[in-house]
């Protein structure tokens, strides 16, 4: 069975910024079947749970990786280094397990796939990926928002 990287919050782990999970039954099934490789990039990057909400300011995850944008939390603190470190940890987990696909939490500044919040903390979305999704895509890993998309 092919391993698939799964956002920990989707697998039921209460690791989101607000200290909760965003459990997806299909993601839980992947883990129960032994296929899901659970990772929380923000936690792996050293961020505590709970933590202030964060958004990408000045672009998307690809821009963060290229040094053109930053990840900033709601208090104004720059947490770019932690997000990049977490993305690298997620990529390492994918490489170690042999995962070539990932199911990541929608709209997250780490895991967002196709859309992320726009950096204004006003709830608006912009096209683009989170930092982890962008790094995984660069490594040739398919990234989706839902196990049903696999």
- The string of pLDDT tens digits covering residues 84-101 is 999 999 999 999 999 999
Which helix (H) or strand (E) segment holds residue 8: the answer is: none
φ and ψ at residue 8, rounded to 5 degrees: -60, -40
Which candidate, 18, 37, 32, 12, places its Cα nearest to that of 98?
Answer: 37
**From CA 73, how far away is CA 81, in angstroms rounded?**
12
Structure-token match 């196990």, residue found: 147
pTM beyond cutoff 0.95: yes
CA 3, CA 102: separation in Å to the nearest integer? 9
pLDDT band, residue 148 (cuts 50/70/90): confident
Determine the average pLDDT of the residues in 48-73.
98
* Confidence class for position 149, pLDDT limits 50, 70, 90: confident
> Tokens at residue 95, please?
């490489």
Please state whether 137 falls in left (phi above 0), alpha (psi between -120 and 50) or beta: alpha
- Look at the alpha carbons of 79, 85, 91, 96 in this order and tell me if their dihedral is positive or negative: negative
What per-residue confidence (pLDDT) applies to 37?
A: 98
- Two structure tokens written together for 133: 């999704």
């Amino acid at each position: 069975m092919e391993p698939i990287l799964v956002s920990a919050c989707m697998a039921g782990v209460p690791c989101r910024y607000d200290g909760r999970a965003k459990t997806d039954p299909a993601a839980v099934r992947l883990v129960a079947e032994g296929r899901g490789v659970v990772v929380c990039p923000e936690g792996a990057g050293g961020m505590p749970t709970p933590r202030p909400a964060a958004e990408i300011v000045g672009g998307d995850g690809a821009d963060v990786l290229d040094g053109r944008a930053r990840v900033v939390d709601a208090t104004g603190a720059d947490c770019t280094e932690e997000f990049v470190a977490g993305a690298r940890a997620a990529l390492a987990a994918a490489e170690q397990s042999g995962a070539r696909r990932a199911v990541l939490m929608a709209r997250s500044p780490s895991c967002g796939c196709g859309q992320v919040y726009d950096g204004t903390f006003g709830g608006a979305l912009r096209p683009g990926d989170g930092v982890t999704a962008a790094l995984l895509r660069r490594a040739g890993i398919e990234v989706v928002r839902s196990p049903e998309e696999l």
